[in-house]
C-alpha cells in the first residue's frame, strides 16, 4: 500500500484501464464489505484486474473484484470474487444508469484505497479505445519522454 497526499492509502490500482479505455468521468464510491474483507484489504490483498460495475435495480454493483481470504477468519470468509454493492447517492446512480445503458460505455474501477479509514473505489465511466487510439497514445508518450530527455541533457552540463 502507498500513501497519497490527501489522506488516501492506495490498496490497488487498475493501471491497464487507462491504457485500454478512454476515461470520460470518475466518481468516488464506498464499498459494502464484510469484516474479514476489510482486514484483508488492510494487508493490501486485492486485485482490480477484471473488475467492472453494473447498474441493476437502482444500485451499482462491482463484479469480479478479487479480495483474498483473510486467513485468521476461517469460517467468516466470503467468496473472494463475490459481487459487492457500491455506496453512491441516488442522483449519481441515475446519472451513470443512463450512460451505461448506451452502447459502448461501461463502469471500471481505477483504484481501491482507504480514505480516512473507509474503503473507497474510484469508479470511471469509460469507452473502449480503438487500436489506433492506443498507438497514438504510445507515440505521444514516447515523444514527450524524448523531449523531456533532450531538455534534461541540455540544461545541466554547463561549465564542463
pLDDT digits (tens, 9 = 90+) for 143-154: 889 888 888 876
Cα distance between residue 116 and residue 106, in whole Å: 28
> So where are the chain's domains?
2-128
For 66, left (φ over 0), alpha (ψ -120 to 50), or beta? Answer: beta
Q: Is the model's pLDDT at 32 over the cut of 60?
A: yes
CA distance 12 to 2: 9
When mean pLDDT is compared across 4-8, 26-30, 132-136, 141-145, the lowest value belongs to 4-8
Over residues 22-35, mean pLDDT: 89
CA distance 91 to 58: 10
CATH of domain 2-128: 2.40.280.10
Say if pTM beats, i.e. exceeds, 0.95. Answer: no
In 3D space, the residue among 130, 142, 129, 137 whose CA is nearest the CA of residue 23 turns out to be 129
Q: According to the model, what pLDDT value does residue 160 have?
A: 47
Percent of the chain with pLDDT over 70: 91
Amino acid at each position: 500500500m502507498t500513501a497519497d497526499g490527501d489522506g488516501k492509502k492506495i490498496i490497488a490500482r487498475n493501471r491497464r484501464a487507462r491504457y485500454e479505455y478512454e476515461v470520460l468521468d470518475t466518481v468516488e464510491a464506498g464499498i459494502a464489505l464484510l469484516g474479514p474483507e476489510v482486514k484483508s484489504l488492510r494487508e493490501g490483498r486485492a486485485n482490480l484486474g477484471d473488475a467492472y460495475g453494473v447498474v441493476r435495480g437502482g444500485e451499482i454493483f462491482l463484479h469480479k473484484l478479487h479480495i483474498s481470504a483473510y486467513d485468521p477468519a476461517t469460517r467468516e470468509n466470503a467468496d473472494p470474487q463475490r459481487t459487492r454493492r457500491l455506496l453512491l447517492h441516488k442522483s449519481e446512480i441515475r446519472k451513470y444508469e443512463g450512460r451505461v445503458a448506451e452502447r459502448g460505455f461501461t463502469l471500471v474501477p481505477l483504484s481501491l484505497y482507504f480514505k480516512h479509514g473507509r474503503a473507497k473505489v474510484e469508479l470511471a465511466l469509460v469507452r473502449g479505445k480503438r487500436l489506433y487510439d492506443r498507438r497514438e497514445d504510445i507515440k505521444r508518450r514516447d515523444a514527450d519522454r524524448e523531449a523531456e530527455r533532450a531538455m534534461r541533457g541540455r540544461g545541466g552540463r554547463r561549465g564542463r
